[in-house]
Amino acid sequence: MDWKDIAGPVIKLGGGVIGGMLGMPGLGATAGGLIADALGVDRTPEAVNDALKNPSSEVVDAIRHANAEAEKEWAKFYTAQVKEVGQTMRAELAAGVSWYHWRHLLGYVVMLWAVAILPVAVRDLWIGNAAGIDLGIKLASALTTYFLALCGLLGYVAMDTTRRTTAAASGSEVNTMLGSLLGAITKKK
């Protein structure tokens, strides 16, 4: 049994934040420990699961108390994560990484392009709007090249950022596959 296995019962008892944390890597054990301490049981998923099988009002109160504690932990975790992302972005800008290398922003753009048409397409399929479905297919066909260009740019940015990060960590320049191939060809001449 793992901490994520007890997330459902915890959420049903009023522990939405702490239940969500149970399924997150790195936070599951912290959340499980908070629940175990509130319930007064061993810090194992099995012990907490046993305590949740017959939830009394004391168990519900303990879950709600643990949830309040988890909200504080989540705020600390989220604040630290935001600070680290900001620090990484500042370091990338200081190293000369251009604005379009902000891979997460570009990733969101690609994701939005991929899912933007879904609600309309599902609605048209649901109500049987053939004209809307036909228009959606034509629009998707017209924008495919643009979408694929965004995907290609995202791939380039991810590869280039990985290369820069690896170079910064290793202290030596890291070549791309094309750069390595060209280097091997020019050495042979």
| CA 74 vs CA 19, 66, 132, 143, 182: distances in Å | 12, 12, 44, 40, 49
48 closest CA partner among 87, 107, 3, 83: 3
Mean pLDDT of all residues in the chain? 79
Using one digit for the tens of pLDDT, what is the confidence trace for 90-128? 776 777 666 556 556 677 777 787 788 788 888 888 998
CA distance 18 to 35: 8
Q: What is the largest CA-CA distance in the chain?
A: 81
Give the pLDDT confidence score for residue 175 in this predicted structure.
65
Check whether 129 has a pLDDT greater than 60: yes
Report yes or no: 14 and 67 within 8 Å, Cβ to Cβ: yes
Listed residue (14, 25, 2) closest to 66, CA to CA = 14
The domain limits of the chain are 3-89, 96-181
pTM: 0.45
Work out the number of other CB atoms within 10 angstroms of the CB of residue 10. 27
Question: Predicted confidence band at 59 (pLDDT cuts at 50, 70, 90)?
Answer: confident
